[in-house]
Chain A
């Protein structure tokens, strides 16, 4: 989960890393008050989660509090990358002599955090790494042995930084590594980290991401920062359809029938499990089908839950039929999913044989499942029909339906 800059800066500040005397405002008058308190030129920065703020006009400089108020008013109305800002950050315009970079990320190959430092900051670190590799220091950190200042010192010294800069930077980089570890971050970055005229360092921007799975461990911090428990902070906010999918999944604790993502096609998908859903979604599209949604069933959900998910998909505007397909199941029961989707059709007044374009879930309790499907005349297949072929048949059926309508 990504933090807004104002939150990330607060996290940095709490870790004992020097920050500027910034303020966060949700309206223009507040922004003016902060600018008055700062009492000099300020920068107004839009608080959105998408990149490219500067280019989009989301970052502006102001010499007076009046100007700050005016800019804040404009920026607060400005949508960037499909997102409205959460507020604006009002930051003193610091006289920076040099910009540095400090960051900690996971290295999935080595399975350890890696500390990164560069005396070339303010730009994308990957660009620096490509153009001036000798200016980027890297060091893996143990997750079970104690962290210590020398690790930060080594990374900084490796880039040629020495003297008082080295001694002043060391605790900053070390503390950033502590934040990364203690707060379960997947990314902790200060860029730029500015050196001021008096030789001191200050974080001028920060980027933090916390692992979703670890959020329960940091409830107090998240509450203090004002992060809502249900904020996903994904590339786009969940739609009402997706929120309804979460409610279906939360309706009882057994298994999964959810993880719904909305698309705008006519073929509703009741699919699973994790890998099977990815495979089936690709296959439907490869055959020219237009999925109305993505979803996942797994872990043996109840009939009620499978029914709830199928109902949600069936009722989605534009959905003509649904396809019920999974990779071979060993835990989820075929008969339970079959009963769930049939119940959904019947309760909505549809003929299951008409509404279910194709059913392909082989595996546990398939004999029982196939019996029920036979009874309702639903077209189905066992494991001898591939996921790809099942998707093709489902698409063919719905496209056949379109042709019929065109003739009528």
Chain B
């Protein structure tokens, strides 16, 4: 199995006629068993087609054309129009929204997330590459063209969650080369506020039978790593007999040099050291205190996660 998406997931691409969106549509149609892209939306472009996908003026038209609820949307519209596009998707019953757009002000993101919470929808991103279930489906630019994505991602037991889109592929490729495939890899986005953090995705992976271990990519800035550490600690403290303890987690922490450079932002919008809690040193300490192993080199991750999975599953056997 997988989390968030599978081969039955239907989705639309909002902003489908943009250059990057046209490529992304091609990539998703070509990858794995082929994404079910049931429409695209660009206001004023009703009646066009992008790689055979019909284009509509509104999400409502796309839903009407499909003849039933649509599961997801990939949003690739410019930052000034993203909030409106996401509101439109949510109010038309879409439950999974991948926001690719970068440089969206935090307030807009918070509004989208709050509306999603009210309507029972989930947002991945912004500033992310989306979700991939190896050999099955990808939703977003993750992994790039189908051929490139197939080279890096293979099916298997590891859930990957990453604040960097590119590093999602780098780490998955390293895992694949070591014979460890991925159940689902999620690029969650590099902004200060995002729709789904590590801790918010953990219950999904936890409930997924295929997933036996988690690998995450982390950076300075924000409380997301502290939230994950707290999730693990609280989950394990409250776990009932027969229920699964927290999956083993290995984290890679980039941007260690930034600890010495407070107030400077590198890499992603959310990556800045403003207070002690933003530093990699503090994050590593919190992660390790929760039993999460922090790797110094990406090439060490496969061995580490394999060992942790073995130890946990051995304890059950």
A275 and B166 within 8 A (CB): yes
B167 interface contact, C-beta 8 A? yes
Closest to A366 in B: B148
Closest to A276 in B: B166
B217 and A275 within 8 A (CB): yes
A364 and B145 within 8 A (CB): yes
A143 CA to B255 CA, complexed, in Å: 31
Return B251 CB to nearest CB of chain A, in Å.
Answer: 13
A275 and B192 within 8 A (CB): no
A379 CA to B36 CA, complexed, in Å: 42
A383 CA to B151 CA, complexed, in Å: 10
B170 and A328 within 8 A (CB): yes
Q: A108, A234, A236 — which one has the most chain B CB atoms within 10 A of its CB?
A: A108
B264 interface contact, C-beta 8 A? yes
B166 and A328 within 8 A (CB): yes
- Decide: A213 near B166, CB < 8 A? Known: A278-B255, A282-B255: no
Out of B106, B264, B299, which one reaches A211, CB within 8 Å?
A: B106
Which one, B2-10, B64-72, B219-227, is touching chain A? B219-227
A386 CA to B173 CA, complexed, in Å: 10
A196 interface contact, C-beta 8 A? no
Out of A277, A327, A384, which one reaches B169, CB within 8 Å?
A: A327
Contacts of A143 in B (CB 8 A): 107, 110-111, 114
Out of B106, B164, B263, which one reaches A275, CB within 8 Å?
A: B164
Taken residue by residue from 217 to 239, chain B's Cβ proximity to chain A (1 for < 8 Å, 0 otherwise) reads as 10100111001000000000000
A181 interface contact, C-beta 8 A? yes
A286 CA to B144 CA, complexed, in Å: 30
- Decide: A181 near B107, CB < 8 A? Known: A282-B256, A388-B297: yes
- Decide: A274 near B190, CB < 8 A? Known: A235-B264, A330-B149: yes
B298 interface contact, C-beta 8 A? yes
A331 CA to B169 CA, complexed, in Å: 12
A298 interface contact, C-beta 8 A? yes
Interface residues on A, range: 35 or more
A389 CA to B299 CA, complexed, in Å: 9
Closest to B298 in A: A386
B254 and A383 within 8 A (CB): no
A276 and B170 within 8 A (CB): yes
A186 CA to B109 CA, complexed, in Å: 13
Contacts of A144 in B (CB 8 A): 111, 114-115, 118
B162 interface contact, C-beta 8 A? yes
Out of B105, B115, B223, which one reaches A184, CB within 8 Å?
A: B105
Contacts of A298 in B (CB 8 A): 166
A386 and B297 within 8 A (CB): yes
Closest to B191 in A: A213
Enumerate A238-289 residues with CB–CB distance to B below 8 Å. 259, 261, 272-279, 281-283, 285-286
- Decide: A109 near B227, CB < 8 A? Known: A328-B169, A330-B141, A364-B144: yes
Q: A181, A212, A276, A326 — which one has the most chain B CB atoms within 10 A of its CB?
A: A276
Closest to A186 in B: B106
Contacts of B106 in A (CB 8 A): 106, 184, 186, 211, 213-214
A77 interface contact, C-beta 8 A? no
A329 and B166 within 8 A (CB): yes
Closest to A326 in B: B166
A275 CA to B261 CA, complexed, in Å: 17
Return A282 CB to nearest CB of chain B, in Å.
Answer: 5
Contacts of A281 in B (CB 8 A): 255, 257
Taken residue by residue from 138 to 159, chain A's Cβ proximity to chain B (1 for < 8 Å, 0 otherwise) reads as 0000111000000000000000
A211 and B166 within 8 A (CB): no
A384 CA to B224 CA, complexed, in Å: 31
A217 interface contact, C-beta 8 A? yes
B75 interface contact, C-beta 8 A? no
B148 and A363 within 8 A (CB): yes
B170 and A387 within 8 A (CB): yes
B262 and A235 within 8 A (CB): yes
A112 interface contact, C-beta 8 A? yes
A274 and B267 within 8 A (CB): yes
B143 interface contact, C-beta 8 A? yes
Enumerate B232-251 residues with CB–CB distance to A below 8 Å. none
Residues of B within 8 A of A (CB): 20, 23, 79-80, 103-107, 109-111, 113-115, 118, 141-145, 148-149, 152, 162-167, 169-170, 173-174, 177, 190, 192-193, 197, 217, 219, 222-224, 227, 252, 254-258, 261-269, 271, 296-299
10 residue pairs from A and B, CB less than 8 Å apart: A111-B113, A213-B106, A214-B105, A272-B166, A275-B190, A275-B267, A278-B266, A327-B166, A330-B144, A386-B174
- Supplied contacts A144-B115, A387-B298, 9 more A-B pairs, CB within 8 Å: A108-B192, A143-B111, A213-B79, A216-B80, A234-B265, A275-B268, A277-B267, A329-B166, A388-B299
